[in-house]
Structure 1
Amino acid sequence: MVIKCAKMEFSNTSFDDSNISEEREVGGRIDKRKKIEGADEKYKSKNLNAERNRRQKLSERLLQLRSLVPNITNMTKETIITDAITYIRELQMNVDNLSEQLLKMEATHGEELETKNEEIIDTAEEMGKWGIEPEVQVAHIGPTKLWIKIVCQKKRGGFTKLMEAMNVLGFDLNDTSVTASKGALLVTSSVEVVRGGITDAHQIRDILLEIIRGIY
Structure 2
Amino acid sequence: MELNDEDDYKLYWETMFLENEELELDSWGFDEVPISSYCDSSSVDGAVSSPPVTTKHIVSERNRRKKLNDRLHALRTVVPKISKMDKASIIKDAIEYIQELHEQERALQSEITELEFRKLRRSKRMNISETKKKKIDHTPEDSSGSQTSSIDSLELRISNVSEKTMAVTLTCDKNSDTMVRLCEVFDSLKLKTVTANIFAVSGRLWKTVYVEVEEEEKDELKMKIEAALTKS
TM-score normalized with structure 1 length: 0.46
Q: Greater RCO between the two (CA within 8 Å, min separation 6)?
A: 1
